[in-house]
Chains A and B, each alone.
Chain A
Amino acid sequence: MVYGVLRFINFAHSDVFMVGAFVGFYLGKIVPESTIWGGLIVLFGAMLACALLGILIERLAYRPLRGGPTLNVLITAIGVSLLLEYSGQVFFGAAPRTFPQIFPSRNFELGPLVFSTNQLAVILIAVLLMVALELIVHRTKIGTAMRAVSLNPKAAQLVGVNNDVVISFTFGLGSALAAAGGILYAMNYPSIDPLMGVMPGLKAFVAAVLGGIGNIPGAALGGLILGIVETFVNGSQWSTYKDAIAFAILIIILLFRPAGLLGRVTVEKV
């Protein structure tokens, strides 16, 4: 989404995801474990903290470079990413921690399948957040302004949009979602460490390119396809090549359909 508005890939996104998981980890120690409201406090607390972090990153690292070549911002994004990863090791410690059980959890069976409420909660929260994001982007004034800035920043200024505010908002929103992602991830894979964002970040990038970069439903579709492919590969005899296959998909998409599955090749009408 940040790409959609700003046309650059925020490599630090996956580290905001990590920070979100750690904020959740510390909050999870304060609130009572395994309660719904405690879990929600952890989730929203981490989202809020990361929204502020995202706004701060944009303000300090990216805004001074706006208007310059995209490559500069891209390299800075990699720098911010490394900064977060290694200051994470300083502040949180490099050793993996166990993420607390924040929502109540129970296993139940449906025929031959065993579910945990955790898995259901992850799907439910993810879908709710997706819907909320679509509503914000398509039904609110600031969402329309986000789309306007992404289409034509100059024209947006000419109708009175303060692009700085819209861009800050975009970063805050994107980072809050990254935090939610970190929490959901940690609920299912409860070992967290400061480098935990790296692989999911790369995979998310593959999913986004697969679906059509800058396209929100496309990213969801790309994620789903990638997840299914990985699961099948995992269950087959080539499970060691799971990650290699994910990146092979990236290369194939870039070669044959660079705009992604749902992406459109943009043609400007003059």
Chain B
Amino acid sequence: MLRVSDLHVSYGAINALGGISFEIQRGSIVTLIGGNGAGKTTTLRTVSGLLRAKSGKVEFDGADITALAPHKIVARGLCHVPEGRMIFSNLSVEENLAMGAYLQTDAVRNAANRDYIFSIFPRLKERIHQTAGTLSGGEQQMLAIGRALMGNPKFLMLDEPSLGIAPRLISTIFEKIVEINKTQGITILLVEQNANLALEVSSYAYCLETGQIVMQGESKQLRADPQLKATYLGG
């Protein structure tokens, strides 16, 4: 469904990605793990069009999307839940969800999506008229995911959904991520620093280090890998 080949990205003179390649099968949950500054966020931003690749190719559903503007990529059903959530803090929960459906013209479908989001995140329904900036970190993350779901994605990229969230809510959010994948058939690319959690919910994993993929494999196998254990899983 998504194929990235030999992707190079740099910020000025600094190389952030030194030629990475990976592939994600339809219907799966794949994770990209790695430490700070490994290039995880850069990868997602390049795929969603916020950053331009120096060279290399991003293909989605068989089409080359490397040079497309972000709004055109969203229109194809590839939605990105960015790091730090980036909800519209001065807008209400309702308006945030409406913005998620910016390109969607089917009112019936939008209403169904809203109901589905409220069914998995009932908290959002309780706070529908509240200004989004006043929500807790976990609720903001739910809103960010909900906003992306309003865009009818076929493919969802989540950047650090556990960041800055109460531990109690982290497990809820990850349960819902798995549920979205299972029941809605949405393919998921999950970027996480919390490698343990990410390997638990995913089927396949890529491990990124200073802009290179240094390891990849079935998530189950990587969890047992002694080297990876020592580096990311805390021994």
Contact = CB atoms under 8 A, between A and B. Distances in A.
Interface of A: 141, 144-145, 147-148, 151-152, 154-163, 268-270
B109 interface: no
- Of the candidates B70, B74, B100, the one having the most CB atoms from chain A within 10 angstroms of its own CB is B70
Contacts of A145: 99, 102
Contacts of B49: 157
B151 interface: yes
Given A158-B50, A158-B74, A158-B82, A269 B89 contact: yes
A268 B49 CA distance: 25
A270 B74 CA distance: 25
A151 B86 CA distance: 9
Contacts of A269: 89, 133
A157 B68 CA distance: 12
B82 to A, nearest CB: 6
Contacts of B84: 270
A158 B79 contact: yes
Interface of A is mostly: helix
11 contacts: A148-B88, A155-B86, A157-B71, A158-B79, A158-B82, A159-B148, A160-B75, A160-B103, A161-B71, A163-B71, A270-B164
A158 B164 CA distance: 21
Contacts of B151: 159-160
Given A154-B86, A269-B133, A159 B91 contact: no
A270 B164 CA distance: 8
A156 B102 CA distance: 9
B134 to A, nearest CB: 8
B86 A152 contact: yes
Given A160-B71, A160-B74, A162-B69, A151 B91 contact: yes
Given A151-B88, A154-B82, A159 B100 contact: yes
B102 A159 contact: yes
Nearest to B133: A269
A151 B91 CA distance: 9
B159 to A, nearest CB: 11
B80 interface: yes
Given A158-B70, A163-B71, 15 more contacts: A148-B91, A151-B91, A152-B86, A152-B88, A155-B88, A157-B69, A157-B71, A158-B79, A158-B80, A158-B148, A159-B103, A159-B147, A159-B151, A160-B71, A269-B89
Q: What class of interface size applies to chain B in its complex with A?
A: 20 to 34
Interface in B25-83: 48-50, 69-71, 74-75, 79-80, 82
Contact of A157 (B50, B87, B133): B50
B164 A148 contact: no
Interface string B154-181: 0000000000100000000000000000
A237 B232 CA distance: 77
B209 interface: no
Given A159-B147, A160-B103, A269-B133, A154 B88 contact: no
Contacts of B164: 270
Given A270-B84, A270-B164, A159 B74 contact: yes
B99 A148 contact: yes
Interface in B111-167: 133, 147-148, 150-151, 164
Contacts of B69: 157, 162
Contacts of B133: 269
Contacts of B98: 141, 144
Nearest to A152: B86
Nearest to A267: B133
A147 B75 contact: no
B71 A162 contact: yes
B90 interface: yes
A147 B92 CA distance: 12
Given A144-B91, A147-B91, A154-B50, A160 B82 contact: no
B48 A158 contact: yes
A155 B87 contact: yes
Contacts of B102: 141, 145, 159-161
Contacts of B87: 155
A157 B71 CA distance: 6
A147 B99 CA distance: 10
Contacts of A270: 84, 164
A144 B89 contact: no
